[in-house]
Structure 1
Amino acid sequence: MRTIIQPVSLSAAAVGLSVLLSSASFTAQAPAARQTADPCASPANKIVAENCKPGNPRTEWDINADGDPTIQGFASAMSVNVGESLDFKVRTHSPRYRIDLYRLGWYGGSGARLIQSIRPSVTLPQAQPDCLTANQRLVDCGNWTTSASWQVPADAVSGVYAARLIREDDEPEPWRSEGNNSGVSGPAAPPPPLPHSYGALGLGKLEDAMKEKRASHVLFVVRDDASQSTMLFQTADPTWVAFNRYGGSSLYSSYLPNQGGGGGGGGGAADNPRTRAYMASYNRPLTNRSSTVSDQFFSAEYPLVRWLERNGYDVSYFSGVDSDQRGSEIREHQIFISAGHDAYWSAAQRANIEAARDAGVHIAFMGGGVGMWKTRYLPSVEGLNTPHRTLVSYRETLADGKLDPIKDVWTGTWRDSRVFNPEGAKPENAVTGTIATVGPTRHDQLGVPARFGKLRFWRNSDMALLADGTTAFVGRGVLGHEWDEDLDNGSRPAGLIRLSETIVDGVPYVQDWGGVYDSGTATHAMTLYRAPSGALVFSAGSVQHAWGLDDLHTYFVTPGRLRPDPMGPVKAVQQATVNLFADMGVQPANLQPDLRPAQPSTDRTGPLARITTPAAGTIAAGLLTIAGTATDRDGGIVAGVEVSVDDGATWHPAVGTASWEYEWQVPATLDQATVLSRAVDDSNNLGEVSPAVRVRGARARTTEEQQE
């Protein structure tokens, strides 16, 4: 087994130096080995107990890309409660197959455990009709008949599950290791073992080939509605569905359906000239792993699941649909977690998440581009009218006008401020703290300047040891494939602080409300704010942030399979996440031995800010520099300063902390203004407002001169 050391790049801006050091070079705060009891002897919670059971190797439960196109299927619901039944609808010409049900987690690094194997309940081969289509390019395969059902055990552990559909018939397997024989002379004709046909001679044989490669996945969530686990993990399934192109189209584009081998779904969607769908059905197999590899579960959600369960966090699971339908249940947990590319939010989903925050539930947005697109739900169209099986988003922002036939409902970006948005702009950073600005497909490192490394977020990590003036760059791809910024756009939450800073040139930068991109320079920052309820809200601001927590995920280099990423994980990101959850009041039950336990902050006093410039009575015109100082009062560090130029009606972030500045473009029509400041520390205590400084505009002076 190879060992790869994660590089850490340090830059000293003052002298223009760039140094590459390994993370092993930082040793001052390396934790000593901890003597711990066997966690499996008396498991602290269901997650610890479940992960004490032996897992199965990836070669048994993973699939190649989207899986075998000759056996594809989906579940009758995105989530199911323990003790309930779930149906599977499968399309294949195979006369013999089985369904292996795996729960995904840590399991000593294996990543999944076989729960049960079931057989189809119908006579095989089972003929399935073509999927239904509609003029919105909607493809709904709900007209397929049920192939098998699973009675979820009452004692099942909540989690993300994969039903692996496996062909067992005698039809010859594709000879190629990934199960794809395209580009060869015949459907089952490997090249002959002649001189210089190296692979045919036995060289380069794939060492981690699937044991049964004629297989595909059906993903679903098992809930535990009676659970009050400390954490609730929500999957980004609306985004999976939005990008899914099975049957010919997605919310992004249209494609020719794959008609080969009974897996295509066909039905005429490709004959519709519209370039993209306005609706997407949950009643379809998912085919994201070979196309939109960054916008599916195994890219940026699965590594977070692995890391949470590895460390024994008390977590249960929820789907994005559940956040819409059952969102009040979020308030039964201490921390709500969103991961990956959780881009598509309905109005009810956003309202439920906001209500949980306002009730004191901490939120960790561990992905990026969160809540960018507004959606709504309709029932399925196959005749059963199953609620919440059709995701609707006309993505009206791209059309520069109203498309959704419901006149008072908008399904474009939440931030779109144009007059034809009947609901008005509600930028997503009002909830998350960050807002998507950088498009695909980035693969950048996370930058942590030393001034941020001193914040408590980075305690017990290498970042806390950085020399003044240096910046650490870690985790290639941790910023990707799309990422966010902290913008002063009128929706920035009060007291928000930055935890990092990465400036990148030449990124695809959004030019409008979410549809047009051009090359630009962007500044990424992880952020944290405290809501009035006391809830902490963290935003990683990057779809692939979880790559810093665990190294097993799909990615661009090997999109078809789950394989370890040689650049991850990043120990400092792991430690910072332990710190974050501790400040949210949650501890791991089985902390990995190379990390340190963290304790929540006892700092309850906000810092003091003072304005030193301008002086009261100053005539303000043009670009006015407002400056001052800020001092912490309870053992913390000043982490941010905000300035108001309208007597506290709105607030804007200043540059600097202990000494700070804010540049204000004074309106030519100003008569007078009241300038205020306030500071926030690294425990997110927002200090009291400073004494007011009143300035006068140039127009006021002109009026006085005329009166004289």
Structure 2
Amino acid sequence: MKKIAVTALSGLLIFGTMTVQQQSPAFAAPNPIVVENQQPGSTAWQLGPNVADDAHGQIQGYASATSVNQGESLTLYVTVNPAQQYTIDIYRIGSYSGSGGRLRSHVPGLSGTPQPTCPTDATTGIIVCNWSPGYTFTVPSDWTSGIYLAQLTNAAGWQSYVIFAVKDGRPAAFVYQQPVNTYQAYNNYPDNGTSFHDPNGTGKSLYGWNSYGAQTPGTNDWRAVKVSFDRPYSGAGVATFFTFEYNLIRWLEGNGYDVTYTTDVDTHANGALLQNHKGFFSTGHDEYWSNGMYDAVQAARDVGVNLAFFGANAVYWQVRYESSASGVPNRVMVCYKDASIDPVQGPLTTVQWRQPPVNRPEQSLLGIQFMDEVNWNKSDGTINTWPYVVTNSSHWIYAGTGFKDGDSVPGLVFYEMDRYQSNFPGPTGGTNQTFLSHSNYLNWENPPKPEYQQTSIYQAPSGAWVFAAGTMVWSWGLDNYYESYKDARIQQMTVNLLNAFLNGAPKTVHDLKLTAPTTVTAGQAFNITVVAEDAQGSPVPGYTGTVHFASGDTASGVVLPPDSTLANGQGTFSVTLATTGSQTLTVSDAANALSTTATLTVSAQHGAASHFVLATTATPTSGKAFSFTVTAQDSSGNTDPSYSGTVHFTSTDTSSGVQLPADATLTSGAGTFSATLIKAGAETITATDTVTASITGGLNVTVGGAGATRLALTTTATPTAGAAFSFTVTAQDSSGNTDPTYAGTVHFTSTDTSSGVVLPADTTLANGIGTFSATLIRAGAQTITGTDTATASITGALSASVRAAAATRIGLATSATPRAGTAFSLTATALDPYGNTDTSYAGTVHFTTTDASVGVVLPANSTLASGTGTFSATLIKAGAQTITATDMANATITGGLSVTVRAASATLLALATGNSTPTAGTAFSFSVTAKDPYGNTDTAYAGRVHFTTTDTSSGVVLPADATLANGTGTFSATLIKAGAQTITARDTVTATIAGTLSVTVKPGAAASLTLIAPATVTASQSFSVTVTAKDAYGNVATGYRGAVHFTSSDILATLPADYTFTSGDAGTRNFSVTLVTVTTQTVTVTDTANGALTASAQINVKLPLLP
């Protein structure tokens, strides 16, 4: 025995057990898939460890077409880096008894070279490889239709694939569509970036997240808007084929299904050929469809071709095809993904199928559509899957699986998920849509949110079945190649589906037929027949459901059959009804949503009266008479027309004004009476036989108010500012009864007119009562008033004492204008967000200030009494200052007081200058500022200032007595005497208000030279003379740097050489002179540059003393 799901017989599959005997091909009429998979297989199609990559391009290639017919030629374009020989091994992919592939061609010894870099179009982002052909071959006629892999291997051992489909045009039972559009949409060849959006990378796809280089104009993204099939698929060259499709192919071919293979491009170009098959398979990740594809598949469905979507996220984006630059049709795929930048507008605009202007949601074809992506990528690098959870397990597709509702299959909810979305239309003309699963998962958002997956099946009006897996990995449940989630129940479920595609779905119950007599007698048993029928009215012998019986006759004495099964879809049962008149019988099967009802007439037959039935059609109103009936009935609920007793009436309403009927007899067992009740609400009128008290009955009524005259507003809440609270409005009549018929509209107002107040919108009441929410802001006594918008007299008010919300800030205030060094008063108040005082605030407040001066006095840490407190503070520094109060436990509760501190009265004058070394005789500027004891400027100072100086020289100029403007003034003075000097300013009234400016007066520029020499010298003996440069005021011109030249009337004199004064001379220097000629001589010194600077000395030269 070999475990398989089905038996292969000429491509037709039948429902069977999970383990069956596989027939030998010798006993069957095998289809081409069966024959093909009996050939010797190979596992060598799998790549070794050295898989080529785009960055190095060791060996990669692409085909001249995505698919090729038997007998047609196909060209492979191959790049090899570096240049070397390579081989091509072409494998067909299938089952082959588990080996998975069959070698169909080995091509050795090909010469390969690096092909040119594939350029990127700057406008659309398209990348087209204009490579030279590497190998061209004609597909042999014995190559069975399928998915083929050209395995490329260079001499260094690097490998990759070129994938393509081989077609045979055969009207096989099933046609498999390879999703090459989606391969190409995600293809970012060459994937040579090293980081996200690497500007040095060149690869592009229709997605920004895996595209590199420059952004594509108009997209604000790196993605391309066109992609070309004339380039390799990135990486190993097979896109997601092995992830989502290979398991399905292994299972299909391993079980002998007759299938032929095509691609998206073929469906677009020759979609009418789909109608040659019984079933169409959309497989794997089949996200990108052209308008031609959608039309072709929909048309196939509408002529009876069954559809199976074995993936998810199918038919999501619309694309268009364009020819290549060399004119080959359908080699460029276009998808702008944004209607605003697509140059083609209308039904061919490349947006999501569900979006305008296309408006063809995929759900109308599949029955469900893409919803979300599973949060599948774990932090440890493994994948995260969720279980498939079964619903509607009675559906024929689950036959033989053993599934029950709520059963789960691990691993089948992964990657992208579909479900039904009620805001989009369902299947066009679809009937019997059933959701086969409801599988919960977490989506890709951060943080993840709960979502759910659904599998759908429905039958189109053409009779075609449409199955949508709603999960990307349905194939994982069929085979264990990629992941180990194979499940025999999913295999059987898929067998059932494909068998229905081939032979029609098994007969199912459409309804239950109930046959019963049209007239029966109360209290007497009679037979009914129940038959399970299909939609054509034929019995369904295989029906195994349980039927349940119910009747509109609920009287005592009714006998219904217990829940039962049917024998061969039919059953006869006994029923007894008790109530005369028209009655109903219903038979149903809740598990299969089946139900049918029959109406019968039960003839009169009654016993003696055992009770009264009181009834009314009225809704009583307080104070108004209403009519009711009394009927004497037997134990089966039949009227006793022979009853002759006397009826007495009582009521639960004991209010003044209640009126009940007098004791009375009935006519033919029935009577009509009038009563008036007063109290609104639930009340009862009881009728009792005056002789036999057990013959009794009650009428329960709800008495309505007489008509609203006021509105009553109530609440149990104590409102808090800013917090919504609930209150009730009741429409009451004058007696305080609720008027449930009140239909007026209530308008709300409030005494609280603060910003942020929220009152209910104008509204009606339900049964005279309504509960509403309001938010008030201002603390204290407030009122909400409700008034009828049409009748202002119908009004009412709710008085509430609004509490402040919890304090969120401290409000500081003062009425003072603080003066430096003088204490002033301030208040601190705990305020909620709306400015209300939080009287319950119990925090401790800490005070700080921007004034860091010595002498500042702030309040100690303090609590507030009933949310407020008064404190004293002393600031020192004049100008803008802030005092801040902060809760010591919650620093967000804080507040500041901004004040302008005035200076205290002036106690001194501060003199300052920017020129501390004025030049003698030159005016310089200085300022005088009136300062208080803390160094603040007293802008209010109004005193008069008098100036004196230590320089008593002639020519000194001091300011006249003056006042200051805003406590300060700028003045000019001229000092004469070089050296340390002071200027003193003093208030002319208060002498203690004074201040001094110390400066060092510099001499002016040299205005003269002096020459000091001895009055008498000895001839031929040297003596010293002193040369001094002086300014115009007689100060030594210490800055003099002139050069001096000496002359003499003594032509024999020895004079100093010309000399230039230096800073070390400080304006004066001694020189040595020798005179020779005895007489009075003159020595003169003159500035070499300024002859006006000169001085002379008369010297008496005497003879030396004789020895």
Larger Rg: 2
CA distance in 2, matches of 1:102, 1:374: 32
CA distance in 2, matches of 1:342, 1:32: 30
Greater relative contact order (Cα 8 A, min sep 6): structure 1 or 2? 1
Residue 179 (structure 2) aligns with: 236
Which runs of 5 or more structure 2 residues have no equivalent in the other structure? 1-14, 204-210, 377-383, 515-531, 546-587, 599-742, 745-1107
Deviation at 1:361, TM superposition (A): 0.4
Structure 2 letter corresponding to 1:278: V
* 1:390 and 2:307 matched: no
CA distance in 2, matches of 1:87, 1:167: 18
> Aligned to 1:74, what secondary structure does the other structure show?
strand
Deviation at 1:31, TM superposition (A): 4.1
Structure 2 letter corresponding to 1:578: V
Residue 592 (structure 1) aligns with: none
Residue 460 (structure 1) aligns with: 400
Q: Alpha carbons of 1:352 and 1:518: their partners in 2 closer, same or farther (altered >3 Å)?
A: farther
* 1:85 and 2:58 matched: no
Q: Alpha carbons of 1:136 and 1:498: their partners in 2 closer, same or farther (altered >3 Å)?
A: farther
> Aligned to 2:122, what secondary structure does the other structure show?
coil
1:510-560: CA deviation from partner (whole Å, max 9, x where unpaired)? xxxxxxx9843322221111111110000001111111111112xxxxxxx
Residue 545 (structure 1) aligns with: 474
| Contact 1:66/1:286 (<8 A) preserved | no
If the length of structure 1 is used for normalisation, what is the TM-score? Answer: 0.64
CA distance in 2, matches of 1:281, 1:681: 55
| Contact 1:102/1:161 (<8 A) preserved | yes
> Aligned to 1:133, what secondary structure does the other structure show?
coil
Paired residues for 1:138-177 under 5 Å? 138-169=125-156
* 1:485 and 2:414 matched: no
Aligned residues: 497
* 1:287 and 2:234 matched: yes
CA distance in 1, matches of 2:467, 2:174: 14
CA distance in 2, matches of 1:235, 1:324: 12
Residue 473 (structure 1) aligns with: 408
Which runs of 5 or more structure 1 residues have no equivalent in the other structure? 1-28, 170-211, 261-267, 510-516, 554-564, 587-598, 611-630, 639-678, 691-700, 703-708
Q: Alpha carbons of 1:289 and 1:90: their partners in 2 closer, same or farther (altered >3 Å)?
A: closer
Q: Alpha carbons of 1:681 and 1:299: their partners in 2 closer, same or farther (altered >3 Å)?
A: farther
Deviation at 1:119, TM superposition (A): 4.4
* 1:52 and 2:41 matched: no
| Contact 1:345/1:371 (<8 A) preserved | yes
* 1:116 and 2:105 matched: yes
Q: Alpha carbons of 1:255 and 1:456: their partners in 2 closer, same or farther (altered >3 Å)?
A: farther
* 1:128 and 2:112 matched: no
* 1:331 and 2:275 matched: yes
Q: Percent of pairs identical after alignment? A: 30
CA distance in 1, matches of 2:130, 2:230: 9
CA distance in 2, matches of 1:242, 1:682: 45
1:288-310: CA deviation from partner (whole Å, max 9, x where unpaired)? 669xx9x6111111111111000
CA distance in 2, matches of 1:64, 1:534: 51
1:602-649: CA deviation from partner (whole Å, max 9, x where unpaired)? 34x633799xxxxxxxxxxxxxxxxxxxx97554699xxxxxxxxxxx
* 1:507 and 2:443 matched: yes
| Contact 1:457/1:576 (<8 A) preserved | yes
Deviation at 1:62, TM superposition (A): 6.6
Residue 102 (structure 1) aligns with: 91
Q: Pick from 362, 365, 368: which aligns with 1:428?
A: 362
Paired residues for 1:330-409 under 5 Å? 330-380=274-324, 383-396=325-338, 402-408=340-346, 409=348
| Contact 2:512/2:594 (<8 A) preserved | no
Q: Alpha carbons of 1:74 and 1:505: their partners in 2 closer, same or farther (altered >3 Å)?
A: closer
| Contact 2:179/2:264 (<8 A) preserved | yes
Deviation at 1:583, TM superposition (A): 1.2
Q: Alpha carbons of 1:406 and 1:681: their partners in 2 closer, same or farther (altered >3 Å)?
A: farther
Deviation at 1:448, TM superposition (A): 3.3
* 1:270 and 2:213 matched: yes
Paired residues for 1:663-678 under 5 Å? none
Residue 464 (structure 2) aligns with: 535
1:67-116: CA deviation from partner (whole Å, max 9, x where unpaired)? 68310000000000011000000111332101100000101111111100
Q: Alpha carbons of 1:141 and 1:89: their partners in 2 closer, same or farther (altered >3 Å)?
A: farther
Deviation at 1:681, TM superposition (A): 12
CA distance in 1, matches of 2:263, 2:595: 38
CA distance in 2, matches of 1:680, 1:216: 58
If the length of structure 2 is used for normalisation, what is the TM-score? Answer: 0.42
| Contact 1:89/1:145 (<8 A) preserved | yes
Q: Give me the CA root mean square deviation.
A: 3.8
Q: Alpha carbons of 1:498 and 1:288: their partners in 2 closer, same or farther (altered >3 Å)?
A: farther
1:9-47: CA deviation from partner (whole Å, max 9, x where unpaired)? xxxxxxxxxxxxxxxxxxxx9948544432267661110
CA distance in 2, matches of 1:349, 1:157: 24
1:426-455: CA deviation from partner (whole Å, max 9, x where unpaired)? 110100111101125544334334x52222
CA distance in 2, matches of 1:120, 1:378: 36
| Contact 2:41/2:100 (<8 A) preserved | yes
Q: Alpha carbons of 1:505 and 1:363: their partners in 2 closer, same or farther (altered >3 Å)?
A: closer
> Aligned to 2:265, what secondary structure does the other structure show?
helix
Residue 373 (structure 2) aligns with: 439
> Aligned to 1:410, what secondary structure does the other structure show?
coil
> Aligned to 1:374, what secondary structure does the other structure show?
strand
Residue 559 (structure 1) aligns with: none
CA distance in 2, matches of 1:339, 1:680: 37
> Aligned to 2:462, what secondary structure does the other structure show?
coil
Structure 1 letter corresponding to 2:455: M
Structure 2 letter corresponding to 1:410: T
Structure 2 letter corresponding to 1:50: E
Structure 2 letter corresponding to 1:70: Q
Structure 2 letter corresponding to 1:488: S
Q: Alpha carbons of 1:534 and 1:127: their partners in 2 closer, same or farther (altered >3 Å)?
A: same
Residue 492 (structure 2) aligns with: 575
Residue 453 (structure 2) aligns with: 524
> Aligned to 1:47, what secondary structure does the other structure show?
helix
Paired residues for 1:24-63 under 5 Å? 31=17, 34-39=20-25, 44-57=30-43, 60=46
CA distance in 2, matches of 1:86, 1:528: 39
| Contact 1:637/1:682 (<8 A) preserved | no
Residue 695 (structure 1) aligns with: none
1:157-201: CA deviation from partner (whole Å, max 9, x where unpaired)? 0000000011125xxxxxxxxxxxxxxxxxxxxxxxxxxxxxxxx
CA distance in 1, matches of 2:471, 2:323: 32
Structure 1 letter corresponding to 2:255: N
CA distance in 1, matches of 2:590, 2:264: 33
Paired residues for 1:612-623 under 5 Å? none
Structure 2 letter corresponding to 1:75: A
> Aligned to 2:251, what secondary structure does the other structure show?
helix
Deviation at 1:480, TM superposition (A): 1.5
Q: Alpha carbons of 1:70 and 1:373: their partners in 2 closer, same or farther (altered >3 Å)?
A: same
